[in-house]
C-alpha cells in the first residue's frame, strides 16, 4: 500500500541567493528523499516557498530604496531558476506572501487564541518620533555596551560578536535618519510556550528512538535547562501578515511564527490549484501519513519545538476556524533530519564576504549531477562538512567519472559496437552471473533502507560500492578476451553487466536524476524516469506570485531491478560525466572572497 509522505523543505529567506551550504543543508536531501519515495510509488507531497517577510528583507529594500516586495520577488525568481536547473522537484514551491498563507496563518493565530495559548504583554521598544514608527532592532545602531564598539547593530555587535539587547545600547540612533529614538511601550501577543511545554516534551520523547541525536538531545536539553518561555508572535512592522484582531491593524505576525506555517499553507494551496481542495488532508490529518522536515541545524528550535508547539496548541480548533466544521488535529512532525553546516575551504560561508559557492553561479560552469554527487557524498549529516575544490575535482574524477560513468560507458560502447547496437542475447547464466545479479538486486533493499532512514551519504556509498562490484565482475569475465574465442559467453557477460547497470541507474537516480535519465534513454526506454517541473503565475489580492510545480506525466521510473530484454535497440552511448582539470580548483579558489557585481 502506498504511503503518504510529506516532504517539508526549509523556506529560503528571499533576501540572498542560495549557496551550496543551503543546498546540502536542506533542499537537496529533501529532493533525494522525495525522488526515492516517488520511485517507490508512494504519494509524495514536497512543498516549500520563499520566506518573503521579516526585517532582513525590509532592511535590504530600504538600503536599495525599493519596495520590500520587489526584493522578495527578485530572489524568489532566482530560487525557482536554480531549483529547475538543479532538478529539485517541488510539488509546490510558493511564497509566504500569498492570500492563502495569510488566511492559514491567521486561522492558526485565532485557534491558539481560542484555546488559551496566547496572551498579551507590554514591551519597551525603540520608537522614532521623526519617522513616526517603532523600529525593529535591526533598524537601530549605537555603541556596544559590552565592547564599546561605536557601530554596533541593535541585535548584534559586529565587533565582539555578542548578541545584544537593543534597549541597553549606548547612544542609540535610527539607521534611517540618525535621529535619537526613545523607548516606548508597545503591546504584543505572546505564545504561551510554558503551558505547551509538557506536550512538546511528550512529542520529543516519542520521537527519541529514531531522530538524529543532535536534533532530539539538543531540543530536550534546551527545554530541560531553561524551560520554555512565552515568546512574542507579533511585531511593529508594516511588511507582513496582519494580526487578525481589531485594533491591531498596524502590527504584523512575527516572521518566525508565520513562516513555519508555510508547510501547511503550501499543502493547502497545492490542493486548491490541483483541483481537489480537500486533498491536503491525506498528508496532514491522516494519522498514517509521515512528515519529514528538511532543515539546517540553525532551524532546529523552530521545527522541533516551536512548530510542534503551535500544532499541539491549535488541536482540532484549527478545523473549526479554517474550514468552518469540526475536523481532526494536524500531524506533528514524524522526523526532522536536520543537517549540520557546510564550510567553504575551511571557513564559514559568508554572503557579505562572498565566501561561498552560489548555486546559479556554479551551474554556469558545471553540470547539476556532479554538484548533487559531491554535496551528497560530503553531506553534513552528523557533523559539519567542508567544501574543498581539490576534493570536488578528485571525487568527480575518481568516483563519479571513473567508477560509475566509465562503467556505464565501457559496457554500453562494447555492446553497441559488437552486437549491432543491441542488447546481446544471453546464454544460460553461470554462477558468477547469478551472483552479480543477486548482489545488485539486493541494493534495492540496502540502498532503499538507507534512503528511507535519511542516511543519504551511506546510501550513495552503497550504490557506488555496487558499481565497483560490476567493475570487478567485468574484470574477472574479461569479455574483451572472451569475444575472440567464445562470443556467446561474452554476450552473456555483457547482457548481465547491462542488466546491472540498468538497475544501478535506478539506485543512483534519486541523487543523479539527470544522468540516470540519460542512461535510461540510452537503454532505449521512451518513458522518462521522473515527471517534469513547470511554473505558473497565480494571482490573488496580494498580487501575483510565480510557483514552481511538478507533474508526474508519463514517468514510469520504479524502484525495482532491471527487466532488460535481449535485442533491445540501444542509443549510441555518450559519456555521462566530464573529467575536470585539477587546475580548476585553484581558479575557483581565486573567486572566493572577491566582491561580486550586485545582481
Count interface residues toward RNA (CB under 7 A). Answer: 55
Instruction: Look at the chain and count its residues.
Output: 599
Question: Minimum Å distance from CB 230 to RNA?
Answer: 13
Quote helix, strand, coil % in the chain, to nearest 5: 50, 15, 35
- Interaction between residue 578 and RNA (CB under 7 A): yes
Question: Minimum Å distance from CB 160 to RNA?
Answer: 10
Question: Minimum Å distance from CB 119 to RNA?
Answer: 20
Contact 513, 529 (CB under 8 A): yes
Contact 44, 267 (CB under 8 A): no
- Interaction between residue 489 and RNA (CB under 7 A): no
Bridge partner list, 19: 358
Rounded CA separation 345/355 (Å): 9
Three-class SS of 371-432: HHHHHHHCCCCCCCEEECHHHHHHHHHHHHHHHHHHHHHHHHHHHHHHCCCECCCCCCCCHH
In the set 238, 250, 278, 298, which binds RNA (CB under 7 A)?
Answer: 298
CA dihedral 219, 225, 229, 232 (to 10 degrees): -60
Identify the helix (H) or strand (E) that includes residue 591: helix 583-591
In the set 382, 434, 527, 539, which binds RNA (CB under 7 A)?
Answer: 382
Q: Which is nearer to RNA, 122 or 475 (CB)?
A: 475
Rounded CA separation 566/24 (Å): 40
Q: Which is nearer to RNA, 105 or 515 (CB)?
A: 515
Q: Which is nearer to RNA, 98 or 409 (CB)?
A: 409
In the set 209, 226, 541, 563, which binds RNA (CB under 7 A)?
Answer: 226
Question: Minimum Å distance from CB 241 to RNA?
Answer: 23
Q: Which of 505, 507, 500, 510 is nearest to 520 (CA)?
A: 505
- What backbone torsions phi and psi does residue 512 show, to the nearest 5 degrees? -120, 65
CA dihedral 471, 472, 474, 476 (to 10 degrees): 170
User: 235 by DSSP, 3-state: which?
Assistant: strand
Contact 458, 449 (CB under 8 A): no
In the set 14, 577, 585, 588, which binds RNA (CB under 7 A)?
Answer: 577
- Interaction between residue 589 and RNA (CB under 7 A): no
Which range in 34-42, 327-335, 387-395, 434-442 contacts RNA by CB under 7 A? 387-395
Question: Minimum Å distance from CB 518 to RNA?
Answer: 10
- Interaction between residue 579 and RNA (CB under 7 A): yes
Instruction: Write the CB contacts of 14 (distance below 8 Å, at least 6 apart in sequence).
Output: 50, 51, 52, 57, 71, 72, 74, 75, 76, 79, 95
Which range in 30-38, 203-211, 400-408, 503-511 contacts RNA by CB under 7 A? 400-408
- Interaction between residue 552 and RNA (CB under 7 A): no
Question: Minimum Å distance from CB 408 to RNA?
Answer: 7
* Cα angle: 128, vertex 133, 137; to 5 degrees: 70
Burial 213-241 (b: 16+ CB within 10 A, else e): ebbbebbbeebeeeebebbebbbbbebbb
Q: In the block, which residue shows the cell 487564541?
A: 113
Which range in 57-65, 136-144, 350-358, 467-475 contacts RNA by CB under 7 A? 467-475
Instruction: Write the CB contacts of 443 (distance below 8 Å, at least 6 apart in sequence).
Output: 462, 463, 466, 503, 504, 507
- Interaction between residue 409 and RNA (CB under 7 A): yes
- Interaction between residue 213 and RNA (CB under 7 A): yes
Residue 185 CB burial class (10 angstroms; 0-12, 13-18, ≥19): exposed
- Interaction between residue 421 and RNA (CB under 7 A): no
- What residues from 148 to 177 belong to the interface with RNA (CB under 7 A)? 162-163
In the set 202, 277, 348, 596, which binds RNA (CB under 7 A)?
Answer: 348
Q: Which is nearer to RNA, 291 or 378 (CB)?
A: 378
State how far Cα 220 lies from the chain centre: 24
Which range in 175-183, 314-322, 378-386, 524-532 contacts RNA by CB under 7 A? 378-386
Q: Which of 495, 467, 471, 472 is nearest to 483 (CA)?
A: 495
Which range in 237-245, 266-274, 375-383, 428-436 contacts RNA by CB under 7 A? 375-383
In the set 480, 527, 587, 599, which binds RNA (CB under 7 A)?
Answer: 480
- Interaction between residue 192 and RNA (CB under 7 A): no
- Interaction between residue 446 and RNA (CB under 7 A): no
Q: Which string of x and - marks every residue 75-114 that binds RNA (by CB under 7 A)? A: ----------------------------------------
Contact 144, 157 (CB under 8 A): yes
Which range in 60-68, 82-90, 184-192, 408-416 contacts RNA by CB under 7 A? 408-416
Q: In the block, which residue shows the cell 554476450?
A: 491
In the set 179, 199, 413, 439, which binds RNA (CB under 7 A)?
Answer: 413
Q: Which is nearer to RNA, 48 or 378 (CB)?
A: 378
Which range in 21-29, 103-111, 197-205, 395-403 contacts RNA by CB under 7 A? 395-403
Question: Minimum Å distance from CB 479 to RNA?
Answer: 7
Residue 162 CB burial class (10 angstroms; 0-12, 13-18, ≥19): middle
In the set 77, 363, 429, 458, which binds RNA (CB under 7 A)?
Answer: 458
Question: Minimum Å distance from CB 460 to RNA?
Answer: 11
In the set 74, 231, 290, 394, which binds RNA (CB under 7 A)?
Answer: 394
Instruction: Write the CB contacts of 352 (distance below 8 Å, at least 6 apart in sequence).
Output: none
Q: Which is nearer to RNA, 108 or 157 (CB)?
A: 157
Rounded CA separation 234/62 (Å): 21
- Interaction between residue 266 and RNA (CB under 7 A): no
In the set 168, 180, 350, 398, which binds RNA (CB under 7 A)?
Answer: 398
- Interaction between residue 321 and RNA (CB under 7 A): no
In the numeric block, which cell numbers belong to residue 240?
Answer: 507582513
In the set 481, 488, 544, 556, which binds RNA (CB under 7 A)?
Answer: 481
- Interaction between residue 328 and RNA (CB under 7 A): no
- Positions that interact with RNA (CB under 7 A): 162-163, 213-214, 217-218, 221-222, 225-226, 297-298, 301, 340-341, 348, 378, 381-386, 388, 391, 394, 397-399, 401-403, 405-407, 409-411, 413-414, 458, 468, 471-472, 474-476, 478, 480-481, 575-579
Amino acid at each position: 500500500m502506498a504511503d503518504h509522505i510529506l516532504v517539508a523543505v526549509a523556506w529560503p529567506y528571499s533576501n540572498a541567493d542560495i549557496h551550496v551550504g543551503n543546498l546540502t543543508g536542506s533542499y537537496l536531501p529533501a529532493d533525494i528523499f522525495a525522488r526515492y519515495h516517488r520511485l517507490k510509488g508512494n504519494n509524495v507531497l514536497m512543498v516549500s516557498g520563499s520566506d518573503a517577510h521579516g526585517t532582513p528583507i525590509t532592511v535590504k529594500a530600504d538600503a536599495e530604496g525599493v519596495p520590500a516586495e520587489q526584493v522578495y520577488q527578485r530572489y524568489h525568481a532566482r530560487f525557482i531558476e536554480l531549483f529547475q536547473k538543479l532538478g529539485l522537484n517541488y510539488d509546490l514551491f510558493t511564497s509566504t506572501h500569498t492570500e492563502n498563507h495569510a488566511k492559514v496563518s491567521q486561522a492558526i493565530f485565532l485557534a491558539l487564541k481560542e484555546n488559551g495559548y496566547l496572551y498579551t504583554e507590554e514591551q519597551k521598544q525603540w520608537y522614532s518620533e521623526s519617522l513616526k514608527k517603532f523600529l525593529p532592532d535591526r533598524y537601530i545602531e549605537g555603541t556596544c555596551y559590552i565592547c564599546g564598539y561605536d557601530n554596533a547593530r541593535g541585535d548584534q555587535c559586529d565587533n565582539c560578536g555578542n548578541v545584544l539587547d537593543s534597549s541597553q545600547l549606548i547612544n542609540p540612533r535610527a539607521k534611517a535618519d540618525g535621529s535619537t529614538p526613545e523607548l516606548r511601550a508597545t503591546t504584543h501577543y505572546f505564545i504561551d510556550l510554558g503551558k505547551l511545554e509538557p506536550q512538546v516534551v511528550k512529542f520529543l520523547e516519542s520521537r527519541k528512538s529514531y531522530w538524529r541525536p543532535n536534533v532530539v538531545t539538543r531540543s530536550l536539553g534546551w527545554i530541560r535547562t531553561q524551560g520554555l518561555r512565552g515568546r512574542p508572535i507579533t511585531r511593529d512592522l508594516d511588511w507582513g501578515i496582519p494580526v487578525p484582531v481589531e485594533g491591531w491593524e498596524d502590527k504584523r505576525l512575527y516572521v518566525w511564527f508565520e513562516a513555519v506555517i508555510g508547510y501547511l499553507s503550501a499543502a493547502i494551496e497545492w490542493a486548491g490549484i490541483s483541483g481537489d481542495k480537500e486533498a491536503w488532508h491525506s498528508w496532514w490529518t491522516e494519522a498514517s501519513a509521515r512528515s519529514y522536515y528538511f532543515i539546517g541545524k540553525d532551524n532546529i528550535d523552530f521545527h522541533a519545538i516551536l512548530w510542534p508547539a503551535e500544532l499541539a496548541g491549535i488541536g482540532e480548533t484549527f478545523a473549526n476556524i479554517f474550514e468552518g466544521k469540526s475536523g481532526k488535529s494536524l500531524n506533528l512532525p514524524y522526523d526532522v533530519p536536520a543537517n549540520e553546516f557546510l564550510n567553504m575551504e575551511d571557513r564559514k560561508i559568508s554572503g557579505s564576504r562572498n565566501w561561498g559557492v552560489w548555486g546559479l553561479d556554479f551551474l554556469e560552469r558545471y553540470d547539476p549531477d556532479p554538484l548533487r554527487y559531491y554535496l551528497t557524498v560530503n553531506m553534513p549529516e552528523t557533523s559539519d562538512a567542508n567544501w574543498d575544490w581539490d576534493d570536488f575535482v578528485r571525487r568527480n574524477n575518481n568516483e563519479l567519472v571513473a567508477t560509475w560513468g566509465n562503467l556505464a560507458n565501457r559496457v554500453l560502447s562494447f555492446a553497441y559496437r559488437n552486437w549491432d547496437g543491441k542488447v546481446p542475447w544471453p546464454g544460460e547464466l553461470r554462477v558468477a552471473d547469478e551472483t552479480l545479479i543477486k548482489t545488485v538486486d539486493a541494493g534495492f533493499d540496502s540502498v532503499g533502507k538507507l534512503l528511507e532512514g535519511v542516511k543519504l551519504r551511506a546510501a550513495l556509498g552503497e550504490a557506488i560500492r555496487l558499481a565497483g562490484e560490476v567493475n570487478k565482475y567485468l574484470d574477472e569475465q574479461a569479455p574483451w578476451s572472451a569475444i575472440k574465442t567464445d562470443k556467446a559467453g561474452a554476450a552473456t557477460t555483457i547482457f548481465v553487466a547491462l542488466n546491472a547497470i540498468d538497475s544501478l541507474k535506478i539506485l543512483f537516480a534519486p541523487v543523479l536524476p539527470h544522468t540516470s535519465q540519460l542512461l535510461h534513454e540510452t537503454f532505449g526506454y521512451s518513458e522518462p524516469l521522473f515527471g517534469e517541473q513547470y511554473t505558473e503565475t497565480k494571482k490573488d489580492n496580494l498580487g501575483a506570485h510565480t510557483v514552481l510545480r511538478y507533474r508526474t506525466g508519463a514517468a514510469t521510473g520504479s524502484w525495482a531491478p532491471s527487466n532488460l530484454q535481449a535485442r533491445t535497440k540501444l542509443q549510441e552511448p555518450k559519456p555521462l560525466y566530464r573529467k575536470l582539470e585539477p587546475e580548476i580548483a585553484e581558479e575557483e579558489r581565486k573567486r572566493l572572497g572577491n566582491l561580486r557585481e550586485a545582481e
